Structure 1
């Protein structure tokens, strides 16, 4: 493929190429892993110094976001709605409420976007399923009460890719049992199905999103506002910046993302005010990474998206309290997750074959051995 970049974009790519090591025949020793993270942080700091700085709500354990629990009825699933937990390592990086993300976070997200854009695209058929395996530690405490974390446990999801309204949305495998994700309505009324969209992000729908970051932000804002209007969400519970950050986080977690869409989402996130860099964050698999974080001032917690500091691959997420609340003391971990594998399969309950490389398995396994 011809490289059409030039000028500042080419310089940025070349700097990124120098930053990221060439693929190795064997895993990096821990010392080199730390070196690459520190190198990345220095580059972010240097870039920020050259340019003047410009001015969750707890989610359910089921894949579909909380915003999707009301569309022509109620989304029914046999999986209980819970929160999450773990051991926090709060970052010294603060939250900044400016016109967009602070320069350091913007630089990091631009680098992540550049890497995401260069990935090979894996086509997904409408009759196939996106398979994602994760580790998750979740809050099983009573709603509004003290956090009660589970240990990391494996979770597998299969998500249907049909573009039209779907009643059988997918399947979850957790704690040794399978739980169907189905659309239903109370009192035996006829189910109307769930369309592809922000609350059921199929590969085809993700590929249809604008790749211009500003247009993408506007599209996400429109979709979020529509959902909130439908649910009569009070104005005091709406925060455009936080709601957009949460929506992007939902899309990153249990989907298979077209490379151009992923790059656009990261660039869009760089335009969200209050986004900051977490220099060291740990996912549910114990992998250390560099984080992109935002403080939710409504709920008093911070959510961090965690990336491999060497490859900039998405690893997982964590959320912890930034102040004392009814859930616990400041620093209490509310949840954490780790993506272990993403792939495309043909049927429900099918797992990626050993001979077929999934999109993230190799890189995440390498990341886990370097920590």
Structure 2
């Protein structure tokens, strides 16, 4: 192999090669294991060359997607600070001088490959996507110090109706049910919300482009349209961070079509400033490998957490990257863990309901032995 790395950079590459799961084939001869490791190192080198040539996207600002607000707030998430890629600071002109770290691009490519092989779901417009999570938010007064709350379970049922809807779904949290509806001022007629970035149905997700570059342009269009509708000032817009946040929202409380999931991860690999954290922990205490990005304007780091063996999405976390009125550097802001995803036929229906019915039916059958 033509090795173009040395010193700390090579050590990082070797660490990623160690962290990534082994190929599915388990009975390889010893020589083939060396071949696969050599191939992975070449891919890391090649991705490093491509990463430095990517265009820089402008930085300041942060998008607060309506989906995050409707589903309980934008999830700010955190990780342990070991094994992180280092990235340059933003340039004085306000544009990013960051490129996606080589090992982040390699990791996201592996995650995309795994996601693309997952099972396709059959989802109809009269069904609901059910997602059960464990979440912890921050407590405190606006502008003052925050403290992470104890993790609590949250269940959501999201309507899969394609057309504009008034009743978008239901949340079960803290022992109560809360309908997700389109809010309007008193006296005005409600206008339904269509499927889209802020209400991502399975069918809408499946309709997204599967080419990463085309998908990035589509997301940029959707985000810009949403920001324009909200009159978001230009100084509060950051294409790179906004896109990373939007993808993160799509990963949380949805059931994702395999090809779309793969495309989103490949698109994320093209976002400047994306790095790897070798040990990230979700709200359920599960350790994994993290894909992270610093929001330097707001002062926090967001991390998507994946199982280090299966590369399955686990959840996300965030924490402060500098001292602020919210707390000292390292203060956690919130965390989540996905516990279950499914497609169900009615609000308040859970996957366990079907399991219980099946068990009762089986128990009622006469023994054949």
Give the TM-score, by structure 2 length: 0.78
Residue pair 1:85, 1:147 contacting (<8 A) in 2 also: no
- Counterpart in the other structure of 2:87: 95
Find out whether 1:64 has 2:67 as its counterpart.
yes
Secondary structure of the structure 1 residue equivalent to 2:352: coil
Secondary structure of the structure 1 residue equivalent to 2:170: strand
What's the offset of the Cα at 1:230?
1.1
- Counterpart in the other structure of 2:16: none
What's the offset of the Cα at 1:149?
1.4
Structure 1 residues 51 and 350, CA gap change in structure 2 (3 angstroms): closer
Secondary structure of the structure 2 residue equivalent to 1:271: coil
What's the offset of the Cα at 1:95?
3.3
- Counterpart in the other structure of 1:48: 44
Q: Tell me, in whole angstroms, the C-alpha distance in 1 between the residues paired with 2:321 and 2:38.
A: 26
What's the offset of the Cα at 1:65?
2.3
Q: Tell me, in whole angstroms, the C-alpha distance in 1 between the residues paired with 2:269 and 2:315.
A: 18
Q: Alpha-carbon deviations, 1:37-90, whole Å to 9, x = none?
A: xxx999977743465443185969xx8224xxxxxxxx7x9x7x587688x522
| Structure index of larger Rg | 2
Q: Tell me, in whole angstroms, the C-alpha distance in 2 between the residues paired with 1:149 and 1:44.
A: 39
- Counterpart in the other structure of 1:276: 275
Q: Tell me, in whole angstroms, the C-alpha distance in 2 between the residues paired with 1:183 and 1:258.
A: 26
What's the offset of the Cα at 1:140?
2.4
Residue pair 1:65, 1:250 contacting (<8 A) in 2 also: yes
Structure 1 residues 242 and 338, CA gap change in structure 2 (3 angstroms): same
Q: Tell me, in whole angstroms, the C-alpha distance in 2 between the residues paired with 1:127 and 1:321.
A: 41
Q: Tell me, in whole angstroms, the C-alpha distance in 1 between the residues paired with 2:41 and 2:341.
A: 33
RMSD value over aligned CA atoms?
3.0
- Counterpart in the other structure of 2:234: 235
Structure 1 residues 104 and 351, CA gap change in structure 2 (3 angstroms): same
Q: Tell me, in whole angstroms, the C-alpha distance in 1 between the residues paired with 2:330 and 2:40.
A: 26
Give the TM-score, by structure 1 length: 0.77
Structure 1 residues 356 and 332, CA gap change in structure 2 (3 angstroms): same
Gaps of 5+ in 2: 1-18, 27-35, 53-60, 89-95, 357-369
Report the count of equivalent residues.
313
Find out whether 1:216 has 2:182 as its counterpart.
no
- Counterpart in the other structure of 2:342: 343
Q: Tell me, in whole angstroms, the C-alpha distance in 2 between the residues paired with 1:276 and 1:178.
A: 38
- Counterpart in the other structure of 1:298: 297
What's the offset of the Cα at 1:336?
0.6
Gaps of 5+ in 1: 1-15, 24-39, 67-74, 358-371
Q: Tell me, in whole angstroms, the C-alpha distance in 2 between the residues paired with 1:52 and 1:328.
A: 35
Q: Tell me, in whole angstroms, the C-alpha distance in 1 between the residues paired with 2:75 and 2:254.
A: 20
Residue pair 1:44, 1:108 contacting (<8 A) in 2 also: no
